[in-house]
Structure 1
Amino acid sequence: MAQLLPVMLERAGILIIVAFLLSRLKSFRRIIDHEHVMREKVILITVFGVFGIISNYTGIEIHHRSILEEWHIGGLSGSSAIANTRIMGVAIGGLLGGPIVGLGAGLIAGLHRLSFGGYTGIACGISTIIAGIVTGLLGKRFNIREKNAYMRAVIIGVLMECVQMAIILLIARPFESALELVKIIAFPMITVNGFGTFIFMLIIQTILLEEDRTRTLQTHRALYIAQLTLPFFRQGLNKESCEQVAEIILKHTGADAVSITNRHQVLSHVGLASDHHIPLKSMATKLTKKVLEQGNIQKATTKDEIQCYREDCPLSSAIVLPLKAHNHAIGTLKLYFKSTNGLSMVDEELVEGLGRLFSSQLEFAEAERQRKLLKDAEIKALQAQVHPHFLFNAINTISCLIRTDADQARKLLLQLSKFFRSNLQGARQMLIPLEKELEHVHAYLSLEQARFPDKYEVSMDIEESVKNVLIPPFTLQPLVENAVHHAFKKMKKGVISIHACQENDKINITTMDNGIGMTEDQRKKLGTQTVQSSEGTGTALWNIKKRIDEIYGQQADFKIDSKPFSGTTITISLPVNEQKWGEEYAKSLYSG
């Protein structure tokens, strides 16, 4: 027994070395790390079955009470047996791959042991197959991929070796020889197999830990790249945004060139081969067209597979990913390499993850664009509305004046024309000069005052420096209209004041009236939601505040101060330094 233990440790070391070398293979690491389909199970059966065969060949022959340390490569005599680590490989295979792998590896190793003969051949063959089945069932029940699961695997491996000793005593004959053999080999085989299982499981746990660490780093890297590219992909697929994205991807991956296309042309290409992969030109590779047609990732490992029309193209391998929106390929992301093996497995998984993230970003960008267009359409519809009563009343007023005061009627017709022109202008543009908005207000008031002379008066105090400041159209006119229709009920004469000035980095526009005012509850609702009442819905104030929030965000302010019978003051503050940005935002709504 004392002589057998170190020799068995030496032979077990061979299997451990083979296991370590296997753990360095990417294909084996991927099989260990992933759920197993039938193809991977067949590979595991083969691998761990071969472990059993190696164990048989490296076993130590026991002849009567003698231990023969020579390498064993042939059959056994009827009075001989072997001590080996066959159960270890089969048990690990079963625990790792489940019942199918355990049974398969057990059959390979067990039948091979049976072919060696010896008076323990049948017992060892049967015990090996049983060990594969039992460990496979236990592997399905207990997940050995969990942290610290190696101790559980060691206990199972030791128990399987104990079962083998019991089967030898039950089946092997003569019983006296079997009993003597078990006394010699039981402790060394149980010890060595337990130790070997422990080392093997540490190797597997190391593989899983490294894969988890790699996956975490990949996720962090992918999210970092996605964060950098998000502001550009939010602009959609266009030449300017794609150039920035391609530069970022080239910098943070191992690619030698990066291209982004839509369905029809190259939008950007940075890195090698920029001389003939030219943006805004038709696509140079047939591989890209294939990805757009099929919507699947395609890899090329040779120049022929890339199918570039230039024979001297330096790009030798590539991976092309579809960029999708609503499950339809709207473009491609291409990473090129000058080496045929430039894309590692880690990089491939990273790129695939980026493709999914970029597709999500493009979907969000499209959803955001559609949302803005929908809001814009709603706002335009509100802006373009003209109250029919106002139109009819204006026409009736002008019709009456034609007979009594033709000059005044002509002036009112011009004001009505200017009013409609302002309506159309506001429906086409998101920002107009303050001076144009004041003209709109003046046209409206001229028509109203012709109907109700001396019912109200309007005063304007506008600083010259702010007349060209851009503001959203229909900002002041609806406020004045609200005052005319709602603030001056039961009043002999109303007063409306409009004041505009610049204070520090803000432009303040204030409208005040001396009307009936409103309650605190009404004030809180106006501008934040529409309300249903006999006096109106508050749509105009909601519309104004919504557009200001959409364009300027928290940089702007919309404030209503009012008390019953004390009038209403509405103050709009717009940031001076956001004027250019606001103009660009307005343009973006139409360019999308």
Structure 2
Amino acid sequence: MFSLLPFMIERVGVLIIVAFLLSRLKAFRRIVRNENGLKEKGILIVIFGLFGVISNYTGIEIHGAQIVHESWLMGVEPANAIANTRVMGVGIGGLLGGPLVGLGAGLVAGGHRYFLGGFTAFACAVSSILAGLAAGWVGKRYSRNGIVSPWLAVLVGMFLEAFQMGVILLIAEPYDLAWELVSTIAVPMIFINGLGNLLFMFIIQAILREEERTKALQTYKALQIADQTLPHFRQGLNLQSCKEAALIIHRLTGADAVAITDSQQVLAHVGAASDHHTPLHSPATKLTRAVLEKGIIITARKKGEINCFRSDCPLQAAVILPLRVHDTIVGTLKLYFEHPSRLDQVEQELAEGLARLFSTQLELAEAEQQTKLLQDAEIKALQAQINPHFLFNAINTISVLCRIDPEKARKLLLKLSVYFRSNLQGARHMLIPLEKELEHVGAYLSLEQARFPNKYTVLFQIEPGLEQVPIPPFTLQPLVENSIRHAFRKVQEKREVNIHIFSDERYIYVSVADNGEGIPADRLPKLGVKAVSSEQGTGTALHNIHARLKGIYGEEGNFYIKSEQGSGTEVAFRILK
């Protein structure tokens, strides 16, 4: 019994070496990653069926309890049998590919074993088919992500070999010879089958770990490149941004050269062949033009496929990918290699991931640029609303005071400078401290009240501690100006404007209320939503404030207007703290 064990270990070693070589095949790796369609299942049937065939040929011929033949077997004497690892190959095929693969591999291996002959030929053929089906059922039911745990594979392998021994005892004749055979080979074959399954599953796990490490490294590298190139691609596709981005990609990938183009010309080329692949020229390869026209990824693995106009160009392989912004091809990313072997699957997948990331960055850059343009337009629209009469009236008031009260005139000039400095500072910032906006309001009120002393009263209720809270510029002052200019046309006494600013744990609340004549009910729903035409004004300031609050804070930037004719108006908004 135990004299058979070293020979069986040797046979398992042969199969494990074959399995290791098999693990280097891309098709097999796809199957291991549970990407097994009918084509892959067919490949598995062939592979593990051949495992069984090899096991049959390398088996050990047994007569009774004696080893008869140890070398390559081409046939078996009628009274003899074979000790081999056939069930191991069939079982692993079933565990990986399911019942269909188990059945197919069992038919191939079992059929071959039947034609080799021997008194156990039929029993071994039947057991191979049944073992494949059983292993396939276990694999389908108990696998996780397409893989059975190594220790379950051990138990399955040992059970299947024990099952084969049972089939031999039931079917093979004469029974005495079958019993003698099983007594001799059962323990070594059960042990070896379990060991073989364990080693094979360790190889499968190693494949998975290698895949995971490769993906993790690929993801890390892609994110690292994306992080470092983001500040440059935020500027869009231009000579400087693309050169800096290409230098980063060249440093962090295995490419011998990296190039970036827009839809018309090369913007950057870093690395090999930079003597004739130069910026501000049309792309030097037909491949680039094909990618720009068709919007597909093109891979070249021969120098002739790159088709550079220079015969001495060192670039012999390339992957060229389109860069898209909103489904429009705006340029290409090109990774070149001097040796085709360096353009492997990992580099190609990394390049594809980078192209998608860069396309997203370019879309974000365009969106950010549009946002900035919109904000600038809104700021300019607000600044354009400054009534020229206000400036003329302020200057006239100051010129009069220069004769009768020079000190007050000096203070008003300072307030006027504060007012216009606030306009300029606000135009350069999306958010400013609340105290700066209040300073803007104060300067405006000083100039207005110098013209109309005691005409109205402005009351401030500001919660302490909110001075440095950021708010959008040109939000408070236009509301105060609206109240002063439009609220009191028909009100002669007790003209008041109340500015109330307070907070809770999440929001800042700003309210400007007056006790003026109010807004007609038919106009109220339109204010803040769009500009309206009237003799008193257009409502553009309210609309711009509302739009900017929504653009900056989204739904958190609440804006509302409450008014009742004869009772006054309140315009208020809420922003995040």
Whether the TM-score (by the shorter chain) exceeds 0.5 is yes
> For 2:500, which of 516, 520, 543 is the aligned residue?
520
- Tell me if 1:442 matches 2:391: yes
Q: Is the 8 A contact 1:106 1:131 kept in 2?
A: yes
Say yes or no: does 1:62 pair with 2:62.
yes
Q: For residue 425 of structure 2, what is the aligned residue in structure 1?
A: 471
Residue of structure 1 equivalent to 2:208: 208
Aligned to 1:197: 197
* Contact persistence 2:8–2:188 (CA under 8 A): yes
Query: Secondary structure of 1:12's partner?
Result: helix
User: Helix, strand or coil for the counterpart of 1:311?
Assistant: coil
Contact 1:526 1:541 in 2 (8 A): no
Offset of residue 130 of structure 1: 1.9
Deviation per CA, 1:56-75, whole angstroms, max 9, x where unpaired? 11111112332124213211
Distance 1:242 1:479 in 2: 48
Tell me, which stretches of 5 or more residues in structure 2 are unaligned? 429-436, 459-473, 485-494, 520-526, 529-538, 553-577
User: Using a 3 Å threshold, how does the CA distance of structure 1 residues 488 and 101 change in structure 2: closer, same or farther?
Assistant: farther
My pick for the range that moved more, 177-186 or 519-528, is 519-528
Q: How far did 1:151 drift?
A: 0.4
Map residues 472-511 of structure 1 onto 2, 5 A cutoff: 472=426, 491-492=454-455
Instruction: Work out whether residues 472 and 547 of structure 1, in 8 Å CA contact, stay in contact via their aligned partners in 2.
Output: no
User: Relative to structure 1, is the Cα distance of residues 109 and 40 closer, same or farther in structure 2, using a 3 angstrom cutoff?
Assistant: same
Aligned length: 485
SS in 2 for 1:20: helix
Check if 1:362 corresponds to 2:359: no
Q: How does 1:33-432 map to 2 (within 5 A)?
A: 33-143=33-143, 149-385=149-385, 416=388
Aligned 8 A contact 2:499 2:513 in 1:
no
Using the alignment, how far apart are the partners of 2:415 and 2:545 within structure 1?
A: 20
- For the 8 Å contact 1:257–1:273, the answer to whether it is kept is yes
- Name the amino acid aligned to 1:44: L
CA distance in 2, matches of 1:47, 1:23: 12
Contact 1:109/1:128, CA 8 A, preserved across alignment = yes
Instruction: Give the residue type in structure 1 aligned to 2:413.
Output: M
Shift of 1:175: 2.5
Tell me, in whole angstroms, the C-alpha distance in 2 between the residues paired with 1:526 and 1:59. 81
CA contact under 8 A between 2:48 and 2:90: conserved in structure 1? yes
TM-score, length of structure 2 as denominator length: 0.73
Secondary structure, in 3 states, of the residue corresponding to 1:254? Answer: coil
Measure how far apart 1:477 and its partner are. Answer: 8.3
Q: Which blocks of at least 5 consecutive residues in structure 1 are unaligned? A: 391-415, 420-440, 496-508, 552-592
In the alignment, what sits opposite 1:588?
none
How many Å separate the matches in 1 of 2:365 and 2:5?
A: 68
Instruction: Tell me what 1:498 maps to.
Output: none
Measured after TM superposition, the shift of residue 539 of structure 1 is 8.3
Q: CA deviation at 1:40?
A: 2.8
- Indicate how the Cα distance of structure 1 residues 473 and 92 shifts in structure 2: closer, same or farther if over 3 A, else same: closer
1:489 touches 1:516 (CA, 8 Å); kept in 2?
A: no
- Look up the equivalent residue of 1:443 and give its one-letter code: F
Separation of aligned partners in 2, 1:485 and 1:11: 102
Cα contact 1:527–1:541 (8 A) shared by 2: no
SS at match of 1:319: strand
What SS is found at the alignment partner of 1:291? helix
Q: 2:574: which partner in 1?
A: none
Matches of 1:385 and 1:526, distance apart in 2: 29
Q: In percent, how many aligned pairs have the same letter?
A: 50
Judge conservation of contact 2:418–2:440 (CA < 8 Å) in 1.
no
Residues 65-122 of structure 1, C-alpha deviations (whole Å, 9 max, x = no match): 3212421321122211111101111111111122332222222212111221222112
What letter corresponds to residue 491 of structure 1 in structure 2?
N
Q: Is the 8 A contact 2:250 2:271 kept in 1?
A: yes
Letter in 1 for 2:394: L
Distance 2:287 2:273 in 1: 16
Change (3 A) 1:318 1:60: same
Are residues 87 and 489 of structure 1, via their aligned partners in 2, closer, same or farther at CA, if it must alter by over 3 Å?
Answer: farther
Write the distance in 1 (CA, Å) between the matches of 2:131 and 2:507.
78
Matched, 1:459 2:412: yes
Question: Taking structure 1 as reference, are residues 98 and 379 closer, same or farther at Cα in structure 2, changes over 3 Å only?
Answer: farther
Rate the CA distance shift 1:488–1:181 in 2: closer, same or farther, 3 A. farther
Residues 145, 205 of structure 1: 8 Å contact kept: no
Q: CA deviation at 1:460?
A: 2.3
Contact kept, 8 Å, 1:479 with 1:541, in 2: the verdict is no
The amino acid across from 2:247 in the alignment is: E
Secondary structure of 1:460's partner? helix
> 2:36 is paired with a residue of what secondary structure?
coil
Q: 1:167 to 1:18 in 2, by over 3 A?
A: same
Q: What's the offset of the Cα at 1:271? A: 0.9
User: What is the identity, as a one-letter code, of the residue corresponding to 2:162?
Assistant: C
Distance in 2, Cα, partners of 1:379 & 1:519? 23
Deviates more, 1:35-44 or 1:232-241: 35-44
Residue 10 of structure 1: CA displacement?
Answer: 1.4
Contact 1:259 1:269 in 2 (8 A): yes
Distance 2:128 2:373 in 1: 70
CA contact (8 A) 2:115 2:121 kept: yes
CA deviation after TM superposition for structure 1 residue 465, in Å: 13
Report Cα offsets for 1:400-443 as digits up to 9, x if no partner. Answer: xxxxxxxxxxxxxxxx5xx7xxxxxxxxxxxxxxxxxxxxx633
Q: Which residue pairs with 1:402 in the alignment?
A: none
8 A Cα contact 1:98 1:140, kept in partner = yes
Q: Comparing 18-27 with 54-63, which one deviates more in the overlay?
A: 18-27
1:527–1:545 CA contact under 8 A, matched in 2:
no
Change (3 A) 1:471 1:193: same
Q: Find the residue that maps to 1:270 and give its secondary structure.
A: strand
Q: Deviations over 1:315-370 (max 9, x none)?
A: 11001112222333322110001112221222222222222222222222222223
Deviation at 1:445, TM superposition (A): 3.2
Q: Name the structure 1 match of 2:567.
A: none
Q: CA deviation at 1:472?
A: 4.1
After superposition, the C-alpha distances for 1:292-312 in whole angstroms (9 at most, x for unaligned) are: 233222110111111212222
Compared with structure 1, are the counterparts of its residues 483 and 73 closer, same or farther at alpha carbon in structure 2 (3 Å cutoff)? farther
Question: Which moves more between the two structures, 460-469 or 135-144?
Answer: 460-469
- C-alpha distance in 1 between matches for 2:153 and 2:383: 74
- Structure-1 separation of matches of 2:450 and 2:166: 101
Give CA-to-partner distance per residue, 1:359-401, whole Å, 9 cap, x none: 2222222222233333334444444457xxx7xxxxxxxxxxx
Deviations 1:152-211 (Å, cap 9, x if unpaired)?
111111121122122222222222322222222211111100011111111111111121
Which amino acid is the alignment partner of residue 280 of structure 2? Answer: L
Whether contact under 8 Å (1:528, 1:542) holds in the other structure is no
